[in-house]
Chains A and B, each alone.
Chain A
């Protein structure tokens, strides 16, 4: 079974700071997902990647398959980025996603 670990568990930063959230997993995967959970509870898919790097606006996700590690970066952070960020992995031939416990990000104005 794949183990997914995220760090840090909680992160507080000032508006404008560069944010990095890390995710590591134990077994080779077919894809890694970054999700954002808003304070109300709804979850939005941010990225799905299996190699390299993806960028959407101020968000950047990278993955290193050899090291079994992914990072989510937020540039020029803003209070509206405050949310829980969840990493999840999908495995070849497996119906299930395995989720990390999430990183709670708080951006202070």
Chain B
């Protein structure tokens, strides 16, 4: 079955530690995205990638880093520089690169990160 997987579903880390969230897709999609969701707020874009070895900052990139070494994978690292890292993180992908008209995105199940 094609889809997007994120692991782990729940993640606990101590303050000051970097942590990497996994996102893998087997949909052969070019574009991938990372979003953060906080209670009472809409999804906010952290980073996105249109193609392998290329990525752009979203609206709230500070304290985060990404890589796109393979088409299937787009891991997100939450660094110690992120002031409020506790949140629900969603990965998505789209068949068309961003900038096309419709940009329908498919979402993974999410990772809930709690920093203690």
A→B interface (CB under 8 Å): 4, 30-31, 33, 35, 40-45, 48, 50, 86, 88, 90, 92-102
Contact = CB atoms under 8 A, between A and B. Distances in A.
Given A45-B105, A95-B99, A96-B48, 8 more contacts: A31-B104, A42-B110, A44-B107, A48-B102, A88-B43, A92-B101, A97-B43, A102-B42
Contact of B42 (A50, A93, A99): A99
Nearest to A30: B101
A101 B42 CA distance: 4
Interface residues of B, number: 27
Contact of A86 (B43, B99, B102, B112): B43
B63 to A, nearest CB: 19
Contacts, number: 68
B101 A99 contact: no
B98 interface: yes
Nearest to A96: B45
B28 interface: no
A31 B103 contact: yes
Interface in B102-116: 102-110, 112
Interface in B62-116: 88, 90, 92, 98-99, 101-110, 112
Contact of A41 (B101, B106, B110): B110
A50 B101 CA distance: 10
Given A30-B101, A41-B112, A99 B106 contact: no
Contacts of B110: 41-43
